Structure 1
């Protein structure tokens, strides 16, 4: 695919790490405004070229970056406006709750004793490492995430209405980002949850039908609106029945997802989902038809020790598959530093899910020898683009990577790229989107990607550091021809 060149037009600068970029029309307003949610808990919007505060929940966000050298994947992770926000003022937040810090799910490990994050590596020769269980969940966890419904009152002040979910998370990472979006097909709120973190999904939560982690979930926010303050849970069967009845599961086999994007195609929608990779590859999936499974049906099947009918159910394959590859553990070759030995970590699981899993639309690799490609680090955004302002990108799906993996590159730069759905439904290649913006000597990690309501405009969030504790280094751009 040909490379495309664009310009980055700065919209807001010197802000904290921007995790969500999307637009809506405020009640009583006449035009769309760009909203920017930051990881530390601020939500701004742009009016008359100036940044205005919509909501600040920084005191309600867990203390970020204390034990992990300033890096963190918790915080304010999701913001979604109800399709009828203009009339009802409803919007939704997903964030990590202040005061809920725990010891982690593997507290007896050396890393935990040293106060470091837990990055698990399976050993294919040791069955114990392949069959770990998350036990003592009420005490051995990292933090609690919450999904809340808020309302913009007639006086212009936002107020919390109720809590939809309280989720106990095993590790600090893989909580999703841009994790709340409304489906234009069903009108339901879509929550994308990561596998719970660490590395290689140590408890295989993503493939367990009862685990909330590692799934894409639809929430019918119009049902059981009287129910508030649900218990803190990790599994669907721990939820009260009124909440179970509001939930359906679209997909499993998720490692970590930077949101979901819907692209209208005649009278149906193509769904795009990016799954962040482990060590080798980042992947973008697309699907049109799917059969969501009601949580009540999953629970019933579990009680009967039966497997629910999963025909048409989406499975991205993790942890047995990393995109198009069986999940592998790279190990350095002492005799040749340019090569790695790659051992399949979960061979049996790769075989089990080889037919059931969805093949990716495109993948890009952490090491890519091709001249016109790039080595990636982590997928941070996926958005369909339907505008004519950048003709070479019209109808494509655009994605961002955190940082181009080139040892010689200093300072760091993120990457923009794009791909398209093929009519023969086969794996497609991708093209690089080159930018003309001069970041100078500052690093520029590409941390988020957003679009306006009709997907004719694209927005990019960049940050000058990998640390959430390095403040006010964020810039938001519009991507233009």
Structure 2
């Protein structure tokens, strides 16, 4: 049975239940990992700052040959490097993917590649096409994340260009792409197109801009169920911030450098604060933070307790923060020895976390599922511990329609349709160990608990 390397109790007094957030070692041996993503299949792709993209297979083995190696093209000092990776929504058929890196001149490059037609675990390096090059005045505040939104467009998070405090107020200046969220159409135009509803199309600004007023949106993500854009923007002196907005809202101004979080920073020449989008949450540096790392809203299935919770962390404070839909935040205890740099999501919506200092990729798990069935639970499961068979019996006038068995890594091991009866006998045929069993009822609701096989 797998050993949980790190775990901590998280008592969420504002949440409807308590959780235990676990970090389980998934893979090791990476050098400065800064991004984790998937291509719509069972593989995980890990981006290393130095210019490599490596593949972790579903069995946790790391392929010896990198998927892509552009180390000769990348500048890596300060906050530079290979920083972002996004697979086209139709990658399975067109083989296209996109990267964000800082070139040897210190400028941001957004490039398009295609997969090797012979070996799907390697890229076709000769297919590289530069879509966009953005001049960078300083070595820091590069942003780096790129992701496809639910609208099919590519979003690019750009920092304000660096030099503390954004003295030129680039984040508010629509004639530069720095300090912005960009949005482009990679399926049209040459080398790309501009969506017609981008807010500055036909205005004296840069057509690629989707939102302004960002300092350094190191990590952003999309809630694929609610279609919200979550942006964690790294602060200046005192405040880290988390923003959320619908992807239908164009032209938002997130406030920097006029405001750091909700607090005025330098409002000279700034628009009214009523025109700005302020964060859903702020974290003050007095709490030991220094650089927020945004994550994801959980939309997986292995850990139902996590549903609709937004996960984030901080480079200097190795705790995991969890925000519920009403904006309440709770924290785990410290995961000592880690400087977390990025979250990741697999094709099933399960979450991962990378530590840049030790090169470890963790899987985020929930170990709070009880062994005994609650008296008010919709089903009774027995025996538990079990051997080769369990009985699922309804208790609240609803009926089980599907049962699934997962290991503690969240891997689906067995799934069986049930006969919509009050009592079901289910063969398990599982090895000795701990498992999570989920049962879907006839209303589509899911109940979970821990199961022990002797």
TM-score norm. by structure 2 comes to 0.69
**Alpha-carbon shift at residue 86 of structure 1 (Å):** 0.8
In 2 relative to 1, CA 161–430 (structure 1 residues): closer, same or farther, beyond 3 Å? same
Which residue matches 1:387? 300
**Of residues 13, 20, 25 in structure 1, which corresponds to 2:28?**
13
2:330 is equivalent to residue 431 of structure 1: yes
CA distance in 2, matches of 1:430, 1:365: 13
**Alpha-carbon shift at residue 256 of structure 1 (Å):** 0.5
- Answer yes or no: is the 8 Å Cα contact 1:362–1:419 preserved in 2: no
SS in 2 for 1:87: helix
Output aligned runs, 1:168-183, within 5 Å.
168-177=135-144, 179-183=145-149
**Alpha-carbon shift at residue 381 of structure 1 (Å):** 2.4
2:189 is equivalent to residue 224 of structure 1: yes
Deviations 1:219-250 (A, max 9, x none): 1001124679xxxxxxx99xxxxxx7xx5422
SS in 2 for 1:224: coil
In 2 relative to 1, CA 278–224 (structure 1 residues): closer, same or farther, beyond 3 Å? same
2:274 is equivalent to residue 259 of structure 1: no
**Alpha-carbon shift at residue 315 of structure 1 (Å):** 0.7
**Alpha-carbon shift at residue 290 of structure 1 (Å):** 4.0
CA distance in 2, matches of 1:226, 1:451: 29
In 2 relative to 1, CA 478–257 (structure 1 residues): closer, same or farther, beyond 3 Å? same
**Of residues 50, 55, 58 in structure 1, which corresponds to 2:61?**
50
In 2 relative to 1, CA 279–4 (structure 1 residues): closer, same or farther, beyond 3 Å? farther
In 2 relative to 1, CA 227–325 (structure 1 residues): closer, same or farther, beyond 3 Å? closer
SS in 2 for 1:367: helix
Over aligned residue pairs, what C-alpha RMSD do you find?
2.2
**Of residues 267, 273, 276 in structure 2, which corresponds to 1:357?**
276
2:72 is equivalent to residue 59 of structure 1: yes
Deviations 1:39-95 (A, max 9, x none): 011101112321122111111111x33xxxxxx210001100000011111000111
CA distance in 1, matches of 2:237, 2:191: 44
- Answer yes or no: is the 8 Å Cα contact 2:259–2:267 preserved in 1: no
The structure with more helix, counted as a fraction of residues: 1
- Answer yes or no: is the 8 Å Cα contact 1:18–1:38 preserved in 2: yes
Which residue matches 1:89? 95
- Answer yes or no: is the 8 Å Cα contact 1:290–1:314 preserved in 2: no
**Alpha-carbon shift at residue 323 of structure 1 (Å):** 1.1
SS in 2 for 1:274: strand
**Of residues 428, 446, 466 in structure 1, which corresponds to 2:340?**
446
CA distance in 1, matches of 2:129, 2:231: 28
Deviations 1:397-455 (A, max 9, x none): 11011012xxxxxxxxx221011232xxxxx33110347x6x6xxx3111111112352
Output aligned runs, 1:240-389, within 5 Å.
247-265=207-225, 268-288=226-246, 290-292=248-250, 313-327=251-265, 346-349=266-269, 352-368=271-287, 375-389=288-302
SS in 2 for 1:51: coil
Question: Which segments of 5 or more consecutive residues in structure 2 lack a partner in the other structure?
Answer: 1-11, 194-199, 367-454
Q: How many residues align?
A: 334
Of structures 1 and 2, the one scoring higher in RCO (CA 8 A, sep 6+) is 1
**Alpha-carbon shift at residue 15 of structure 1 (Å):** 1.2
- Answer yes or no: is the 8 Å Cα contact 1:258–1:382 preserved in 2: no
**Alpha-carbon shift at residue 463 of structure 1 (Å):** 2.7
CA distance in 2, matches of 1:260, 1:401: 14
TM-score norm. by structure 1 comes to 0.66
Range with bigger deviation, 196-205 or 385-394: 385-394
Output aligned runs, 1:30-179, within 5 Å.
31-47=41-57, 48-52=59-63, 53-62=66-75, 64-65=76-77, 72-98=78-104, 100=105, 143-156=106-119, 157-159=123-125, 160-177=127-144, 179=145
- Answer yes or no: is the 8 Å Cα contact 1:4–1:433 preserved in 2: no
In 2 relative to 1, CA 50–366 (structure 1 residues): closer, same or farther, beyond 3 Å? same
Range with bigger deviation, 282-291 or 50-59: 282-291
Which residue matches 1:194? 159
In 2 relative to 1, CA 326–227 (structure 1 residues): closer, same or farther, beyond 3 Å? closer
In 2 relative to 1, CA 226–380 (structure 1 residues): closer, same or farther, beyond 3 Å? closer
- Answer yes or no: is the 8 Å Cα contact 1:181–1:259 preserved in 2: no
CA distance in 2, matches of 1:11, 1:181: 23
SS in 1 for 2:93: helix
- Answer yes or no: is the 8 Å Cα contact 1:96–1:144 preserved in 2: yes
* Larger-Rg structure: 2
**Of residues 357, 360, 366 in structure 2, which corresponds to 1:475?**
360
CA distance in 1, matches of 2:117, 2:86: 19
CA distance in 1, matches of 2:307, 2:70: 37
Stretches (4+) displaced over 3 A: 1-4, 225-228, 289-292, 347-350, 388-392
Which residue matches 1:342? none
